[in-house]
Amino acid sequence: MPLGTEAMVRVAVAALWSSPDAVRPVDAPALGAPADVGAWVAGLDAARQAGEAVLSQLLLGERVLVTELRPDGWAHVVAVEQPSARLDPRGYPGWLPITQLTTAATGVDGTAQMVVDTAVTALHATAAGPVAVPGVVLGTRLAGAGAPVDGWQPVLAPGHTGALWLPAAHVVAAPTMPPTAEQVLSVAARLLDVEYLWGGMSAYGIDCSGLVHLVWRRLGVLVPRDASDQATAARRLELGTERVGDLYSFARPGRRIHHIGIVTATEPRRERRMLHACHGHRRVLEEPLSVERNATLLGAHRLGAGPAR
């Protein structure tokens, strides 16, 4: 795999690590091909979940630029589908095992026709047959490989020859129109009660900016990965003019934005509310802004054209 090569993720969910040296024995399930992300998250205690060894997660078919290879089987990559102006103008940088990458696109490209619309599913070798790729998550983009057969949809996946299959009800056509507020909240609500995981971006575990990125990814909108970049990329709103489906951002005086959430209620006589991945509660929830949250509320923001009414 030459340097400068564009590769694709071949496992359902790949962790993007700060360094190969940051990996601990407890992280072993996340390093394989396939990776068992469910088992990995289940084996993490609260302290390890909040650690910063994992920078982000990449989904099946996500494109990366390979920038360095180590003889011990690790690749440094730039995740070009996760904008990160603060870290690298090309995308989000980090490390992952080379075995979780492939240069064989097998008909999959950046204009995927379908997107996974359920929290977790699997790709099967044949319709209703053995599992070939377990743990495929919400927001994963796939290329269709024909019409459904008996309730099963054939798709193409990187690193796999021929069609794989998943329940047709688990995918929808990739969106082509800006999302409505109802769509934003509907997708976000499917992630309620998902565990908080620093760097997480899947139904197995997620952080605040990962939630925002994943919801908009499912709805066909590419947004930055980190909270501060998300707020910078969005249009700043005067508080009181925000709508359901916009974003609230939070920062302490003189500090960079450290938290972000999706607006769920703005009525003048009611408390401001948001849906967010909360480190304190260790899960995704919808709630009114607490006293502390209101004290650090920096502003409201609207991504792209914003959610339609």
Q: Above 60 in pLDDT, residue 107?
A: no
Residue ranges with strand state E in 54-211: 54-59, 63-69, 74-79, 92-97, 101-102, 114-116, 120-124, 131-137, 141-144, 152-156, 164-167, 171-173, 201-202, 205-206
- The answer to whether the CB of 293 falls within 8 A of the CB of 257 is no
The pLDDT score that the predictor gives to residue 268 is 56
Note the pLDDT tens digit of each residue in 247-263: 999 999 889 999 999 99
pTM over 0.85: yes
pLDDT tens-digit map of 112-168: 589 999 999 999 999 999 999 999 999 999 999 999 999 999 999 998 888 999 999
